[in-house]
Homo-oligomer: A and B are copies of this chain.
Amino acid sequence: MILTVTLNAALDLTYRVPHLVPHASHRVREVTERPGGKGLNVARVLGALGFRTTVTGFVGGETGRVLRALLAANAEAETGKEGAEGPAGGGTPRVTDALVQVAGRTRRTVGVVDETTGDTTQLNEPGPHITPEEWDGFLTVYRELLGRGPAAVALCGSLPPGVPVGAYATLVREARTARIPVLLDTSGEPLRRGLAARPDIVKPNAEELAGITGTAEPLRAARAAQRRGAHAVAASLGADGMLLVAQDGAWSAAVPERLAGNPTGAGDSAVAGLLSGLAEDLPWPDRLARAVALSAATVRSPVAGEFDEATYAQLLPSVRVRKAETP
C-alpha cells in the first residue's frame, strides 16, 4: 500500500463553456465533479497503474460528503473491473478512504474550460480552517497509518488555514522515524521547512525550486535543495521533462518530442511515477522514465488530469534518460 496525504483536499469542478468572456453571463454546458487536491490525484493515477493506495488528509461539510461519495463510487467501479492487472490484483478497491472529518467545509476548485481557445481558467477556494484539536487528531491517524507499513508516503499540496507552517516537517520526521520512504510535493515556506526534516524525495517544479533556492538554473538549484536536506530532488521542468539529483548521481529525462495538450495534473502524475518506482525499488533512471512518461501521457489526455494508458505504454520505452552534468 502507498499512502498519500492531502491536507487541503478539494472538490474539483470542471465547467465547459463555449467561450469565457469577463463580465458576461455564461451557460455552463457540462459540469464534472471529482475528488481533487494533489494527493488524491496521485492516488487516482497509482490506482490506474494497479497500486493500492490509502488517502488521508482533511474532509468536511457537504462538499466533503460529495468528495467521499465520489471516492467510494470510483473504488466500487475499480472493484468491479475484470482481470485487473498490477500489484493490487482484481477484486480490491485501489483507493482506500482514510480521510479525517473536520468541522470546516472542504474547498471547491472550479476549472473553466473555454471550448473556443481550449484554455482553462482556474478559481481555487480557500480551504477550511483547521483547529489545533483537528490537527492533533490527524497526527494520531497518520501515525496509525504509518504503523500499517506503507511502501511509501507522499505529502502533497498546500496547507489549509490553521495548520502549522511546519506541518510537513513534522510529517516527514514521523515517516522517517517509522522508516517509511517519504516524498514531499509542496511549495514556499512549507517546502522550505519540510526540506530541513530530510525527506527522501522532494518534487518541486522549476519555479518552486527557484523560489526556495534563489537559483534559476535547474541543476544548480536542485543541488542547492539537496544540500538543504532532501536526499533526492526531482524537478519537473514542464516541456523540458524532469531532472533528478540523488545521492548516487544526477539524470535528466524527456520524451523525444514536445507534446501539445493540457498540463493540468502532469506534476501529480510525475509524483505517482516516482512513487510507483520507489515502491518497486527500481533504479533512479527507471523511476524518472516512469515519471516523465506518465506526465507526458497526462498532458496528452483529452480529460484534464487523467493519463492516457495507451500513450503511457507507448511513451515509456521512448523516454531518453541522460546523466546530468554540473553546468
Residues of B contacting A135 in the complex (Cβ-Cβ under 8 angstroms): none
Report copies per complex.
Answer: 2
Alpha-carbon gap, A114 to B123, bound state (A): 12
For residue A124, CB closer than 8 A to chain B, the reply is yes
Report the separation of the CA atoms of residues A117 and B20 in the bound assembly, to the nearest whole angstrom. Answer: 17
CA distance A124 to B31 in the complex (A): 10
CB-CB under 8 A from A24, the residues of chain B are 121-122
Question: Is residue A110 contacting chain B, with contact meaning CB distance below 8 A?
Answer: yes
Partner of A121, one of B23, B28, B31, B63: B23
Answer whether residue A175 sits at the interface, using C-beta atoms and an 8 A cutoff.
Answer: no
Q: Does A85 contact B (CB under 8 A)?
A: no
Chain B CB within 8 A of A112 CB: yes
Instruction: Evaluate contact between B62 and A26: CB separation under 8 angstroms.
Output: no
Report the separation of the CA atoms of residues A15 and B121 in the bound assembly, to the nearest whole angstrom.
14
* 9 new A-B contacts at CB < 8 Å, known A20-B121, A22-B117: A21-B121, A22-B119, A22-B121, A23-B119, A23-B120, A23-B121, A25-B124, A26-B122, A28-B124
Distance (whole angstroms) from the CB of A63 to the closest CB of chain B: 8
| Residue A240 lies at the interface, judged by CB distance under 8 Å to chain B | no
Q: List chain A positions with a Cβ less than 8 A from chain B.
A: 15, 17, 20-29, 31, 62-63, 65-66, 110, 112, 114, 117, 119-126
**Among A110, A114, A117, A122, residue most surrounded by chain B Cβ atoms (within 10 Å):** A110
The verdict on A26 contacting B124 (CB below 8 Å), with A62-B65, A62-B66, A110-B110 known, is yes
Nearest B residue to A114, CB-CB: B22
CB distance from A31 to the nearest CB of B (A): 5
- The smallest C-beta distance from A182 to any residue of chain B, in angstroms, reads 27
6 A-B pairs in the complex with CB atoms less than 8 angstroms apart: A21-B121, A23-B119, A23-B121, A24-B122, A62-B62, A62-B65
Contact A25–B126 (Cβ < 8 Å): no
- Whether the Cβ atoms of A22 and B25 lie closer than 8 Å is no
- CB of B62 within 8 A of CB of A31, answer no
How close is A264's CB to chain B, nearest CB, in angstroms?
Answer: 10
Alpha-carbon distance A121/B122, docked complex (angstroms): 13
Pairwise interchain contact A26-B123, C-beta atoms closer than 8 A: yes
Bound together, the chains give a CA A122 to CA B112 distance in angstroms of 11
Q: Which residues of B contact A117 (CB under 8 A)?
A: 22-23
A63 cross-chain contacts in B, Cβ below 8 A: 62
Q: Bound state CA distance, A65 and B63, in angstroms?
A: 11
A31 to B119 Cα, complex, angstroms: 24
Q: Are A31 and B120 in contact (CB under 8 A)?
A: no
Closest 8 CB pairs of A and B: A25-B122, A23-B119, A62-B62, A28-B125, A62-B66, A26-B123, A22-B121, A20-B22
State whether B22 touches A123 (Cβ < 8 A).
no
Q: Nearest-CB distance from A304 to chain B (Å)?
A: 13
